[in-house]
Amino acid sequence: MKTAVRTAAIAWLITAVYYFYQYMLRSAPAVMMPQLSEAFGLTAMGVASMVGLFYYGYSPFSLVAGVALDRWGPRKVVPVGAAAVGVGALMFASGNNEMASAGRLLQGAGGVFALVGAAYIAMKNFPASKAATLIGATQMFGMAGGSAGQFMVGPAISSGLPWSRFWLVMGCIGIGISVLLLVLLPRQQAASPEGNWLGEAGRSLKTVFGNPQSILCGMIAGLLFIPTTIFDMVWGVRYLQEAHGFDYGAAVMRSATVPLGWIIGCPLLGLISDRIGRRKPVIIGGAVTLLACLAWILFGPAGLLPPYLLGLITGLASGAAMLPYTVIKEANPPQMSGTSTGVINFINFTFSALLGPVFANLLLRASGGAAAMELGHYQAAFQPLLFGVTLAIVLTLFLRETGPAIQPATPANTRTEEAA
């Protein structure tokens, strides 16, 4: 049993490293917007739209990843995703608009296998009482990559590293990670070696989508992710430069504190949730804190709080967005673990895919098409974020509590706990 747990831990860890890599590529464009604008001959809005294509690949392939994991297991699925991200990075480095756009879509389509794969391994091999902690730890790796994509890549780009060389190197790294995953992930027998797998996939999706709790989880996660995926990782650096007059280096470092806060918040809030045995109070507490931080970032007096503190707390509170990933698994049959993660990822990042262009258009309207934007323009465009987080809090009230404190212990769970 101990050997099995050790093998599962190694499998989870290497998949989490892949998630770090994927998230680094997801956030890196925010620190090279001027270089990308010049290379592709696009405005800042045009670059934001190209970068946002990541979510048009990520969202629909969430469903594919979840069903594929339930059917074939991580070893036959996850390395393919990593290879797709690497190839997508190489395509983005080409400097050709069409090739780069297709590459960004491919990065999203392949990148989804990281989180879904790591979450699948965690939920299949470790006790339910540690579920939220492990899901939070998985997102910790992702946000560590998101932070590195800003505070590490930003200084390198400003020091003269060509943007295309960065993407070439990262593409090669992605191919290497794919090979490593293929070697290290353990073999696993297919869940249903016989029968109509397409029909089984359809039934699994129907079951998970047909559960109202699944829809609530996806909406709550999506509304709590948007302040990071759209506001911070796309517009954060420009907002700090144009609205508050920070130079490029300071803006990059301050923007990077948000994913840095996620690194702390995801495992911390997951651990708190597991310790108290409940999910809803932690989600609501994190969302209320996030709401207060966003209101301060947009409308509060600048310079009153210590540097970096507000971004750090914003990211920490945002860690509550990962708890619905645990809830959806607890609210659906255990044999549909991968499908459940795929469904919540699909709903979550459909929000980012659809609302990214909406926020860009709101900013364009507020600024009247001006090349340089002011604080008032950003306030007008991103004020809806406050309503979105408020809606997430309200929706959480309708969520059914699924934490260990309200679930009766079973002999199987007890044995798993002791083995772990």
**Residue 196: predicted pLDDT:** 67
pLDDT at 419: 41
Report all structural domains of the chain as residue ranges with CATH numbers, in order of start.
2-419 (1.20.1250.20)
* pLDDT for position 1: 57
pLDDT value of position 234: 83
The whole-number pLDDT of residue 197 equals: 66
| 185 within 8 A of 75, measured Cβ to Cβ | yes
pLDDT score for 154: 86
Query: Looking up tokens 């994927």, which residue turns up?
Result: 22
What confidence score (pLDDT) does residue 194 get? 53
User: Distance between CA atoms of 170 and 185, rounded to whole angstroms?
Assistant: 22
pTM for the structure as a whole: 0.80
Residue in 175, 152, 156, 182 with CA at minimum distance from that of residue 89:
175
The predicted structure's pLDDT at residue 334? 84
pLDDT per residue over 127-151, tens digit each?
A: 777 777 888 888 889 888 988 888 8
How many Å apart are CA 120 and CA 113, to the nearest integer? 10
The pLDDT of residue 396 is 97
Provide the pLDDT for residue 192: 52
- From the list 139, 385, 144, 378, the residue with the least C-alpha distance to 257 is 144
Q: Quick one: pLDDT at residue 291? A: 97
Query: Tell me: the pLDDT tens digits for 201-256?
Result: 788 889 999 999 999 999 999 999 999 988 998 889 889 999 999 998 889 888 88
Give pLDDT < 70 ranges for the chain.
1, 188-197, 407-420
Determine the pLDDT at residue 409: 45
Pair 27, 52: CB distance under 8 Å: no
Residue for token pair 């790294």: 173
